[in-house]
Structure 1
């Protein structure tokens, strides 16, 4: 059963470590740490992806900034309570991690596969230039009755196709993880720059 759960949420990235390890939490004596990995797109734009790493996978007391790393795992979410609201926090949970040579990163690896269910009404829109976009929220089952809630964005024909999905629709998605900066308005006089993470969909299928 665990293997089946793992198969419905698969991520692999290769990129450059651009931060040190920051302590996150501990489970049954095992410490988990966050680290930022930059992954280049073919367009030369860079996505900064947060990765959660066990202290049993790598020596988290060392600084590996500037080194390249291969990570395989799952894209996970949890709700953080902030300012009387829940904020969805996303990161790649590393099941495998390996330091690699820089030339291995030239493949610009950033791949994700999800098998889950639409859990919120799809938002379909067009940009002022007429580009079609659809925003999805996909729930992916995890072990112990948990689920991860993954924001996904579709473009063009995929957006038009996804616009017809209803809540509860079973979908399979292939794409990549991307980061996006935005400004969060906190009050009439205060605003804060934040980073959102989502899956940019390259292929999507509807399952009966």
Structure 2
């Protein structure tokens, strides 16, 4: 059962380490730390992906800035309470890590597969330039009754297809994790630059199984 659940959330990211480790939390005596990975896109831009690593996988007291790292794991979410409301925080949970010498041109440096359930009505819109976009929120099951809630963004014909998805339908998604800067209005006078993370969808399909309620 556990292996089957793990298969529904698979991530591989490769890139340059651009931060030192910072402490996140501890569970049953095992410490977890955050580190940022710079993953390049084909367009020569890049995404900064936060990765959560156990102290049992790497020496988290060392600095690896500038080194190339390959991470296999899952894209996970948790709610952090701030400003009287919950904020969805996303990161790659590392199951395997390894250093690499170089990145081949053919390497897929950022890929994700998710199998989950639509848990909010899709939001379809067009940009001022006419580009079609649909936002999805996917609930992906984890062991022990937990779920990760992953925002996904579809483009073009995928957006038109996803617009008609219903809450509770099961959906498979392939794509990449992307980071996006935005300005958060704190009050009438102050704004703050923040970074959002989401899955940019390259392929998606509805699966036969569906359920009426999202756990």
Q: TM-score, normalization: structure 1?
A: 0.98
CA contact under 8 A between 1:39 and 1:108: conserved in structure 2? Answer: no
Q: Does the alignment pair 1:164 with 2:164?
A: yes
Name the CA distance, whole Å, in 1 between partners of 2:5 and 2:23. Answer: 27
Provide closer, same or farther for how the CA distance between residues 88 and 105 of structure 1 changes in structure 2, counting only shifts above 3 A. Answer: farther
Structure 1 residue 107 displacement after superposition: 2.3
Name the CA distance, whole Å, in 2 between partners of 1:58 and 1:104. Answer: 24
Q: Using the TM superposition, name which of 31-40 and 102-111 deviates more.
A: 102-111
Cross-structure match for 1:117: 117
Provide closer, same or farther for how the CA distance between residues 72 and 105 of structure 1 changes in structure 2, counting only shifts above 3 A. Answer: farther
Provide closer, same or farther for how the CA distance between residues 178 and 85 of structure 1 changes in structure 2, counting only shifts above 3 A. Answer: same
Structure 1 residue 103 displacement after superposition: 3.2
Provide closer, same or farther for how the CA distance between residues 164 and 83 of structure 1 changes in structure 2, counting only shifts above 3 A. Answer: same
Say how many residue pairs are matched: 208
CA contact under 8 A between 1:42 and 1:108: conserved in structure 2? Answer: no
Cross-structure match for 2:37: 37
Q: Does the alignment pair 1:194 with 2:184?
A: no
Q: Does the alignment pair 1:19 with 2:10?
A: no
Summarize deviations over 1:153-177 as a string: whole Å, max 9, x none: 0000000000000111110000000
Structure 1 residue 84 displacement after superposition: 0.6
Question: Helix, strand or coil for the counterpart of 2:103?
Answer: helix
CA RMSD of aligned residues (A): 1.0
Name the CA distance, whole Å, in 1 between partners of 2:75 and 2:81. Answer: 20
Name the CA distance, whole Å, in 2 between partners of 1:170 and 1:203. Answer: 14
Question: Helix, strand or coil for the counterpart of 2:26?
Answer: strand
